[in-house]
Structure 1
Amino acid sequence: MVQTHHFHLDAKGHSVTVNIDGGHRGAVELLVDGKETGRAEIQGGRPLILSGELPTDPPLPVSVRITPGPGTPRCIAVIDGAETVMSPRAF
């Protein structure tokens, strides 16, 4: 059975979401306000970093460190130098 995980964070009035598809060719995507801003294939349990921008004035960089496994994935967002653990989200 393929397991999909979703993580979410509201930051500075914007939505930051990470979707992790743990299938055979697993992938991770970063969405800002529902638009894909980053995507990568999962390479075993190796951590990944995806980057994007919050559409503020001026735009604010956001990066998310993703640890896909083993076990339950974990996501930490870094926005304006502050680290925040992203909450799992049920769909």
Structure 2
Amino acid sequence: MRQRHHFHIDYLGHSVSATVETGHTPAVEVLVDGKETGYATTRDDRPVSVPIELPTDPPTTVTVRATPGPGVPRCMLLATADADPQVMAPRLY
């Protein structure tokens, strides 16, 4: 059975949202300021990383790492290799 889980974080003045759709082939869609900027699928409950660019000057590359399972999905924003990951808060829609 497919379910959608929504996550959000504000980073560098931009809205970053992720939707994780669970099921046989989990999918992750990432929006920056309401525009789709990344999409990926995975198998089973394997984590997936979605690289995106924030519209800063110059553009900032970050990664959204989604874990569809087991259990409740989770999302994190990875800004740089040496920075701590930031947990994206779940949103009820």
TM-score by length of 1: 0.89
How many equivalent residue pairs?
Answer: 91
Please report how far the alpha carbon of residue 24 of structure 1 lies from its aligned counterpart in structure 2 after TM superposition. 4.2
Unmatched 5+ stretches in structure 1: none
Q: Deviations over 1:43-83 (max 9, x none)?
A: 10111000111101111111011111010011110125442
- CA shift for structure 1 position 42: 2.8
Deviation per CA, 1:11-49: give whole Å up to 9, x if none.
111010110112444311111111111111231011100
Measure the CA separation in 2 of the matches of 1:67 and 1:25: 13
Letter in 2 for 1:70: P
State, as a whole percentage, how many aligned pairs show the same letter.
54
1 CA distance for matches of 2:75 and 2:21?
Answer: 14
Could you tell me which amino acid in structure 2 is paired with residue 29 of structure 1? Answer: E
> Aligned partners of 1:71, 1:87: CA distance in 2, in Å?
16
Runs of 4+ in structure 1 displaced over 6 angstroms? Answer: none
Q: Is 1:65 aligned to 2:81, yes or no?
A: no
Aligned AA for 2:28? V
Matches within 5 A, 1:52-91: 52-80=52-80, 81-91=83-93
Any gaps of 5 or more consecutive residues in structure 2? Answer: none
Q: TM-score, normalised by structure 2?
A: 0.88
Q: CA RMSD in A?
A: 1.4
Match for residue 11 of structure 1? 11
2:38 aligned partner: 38
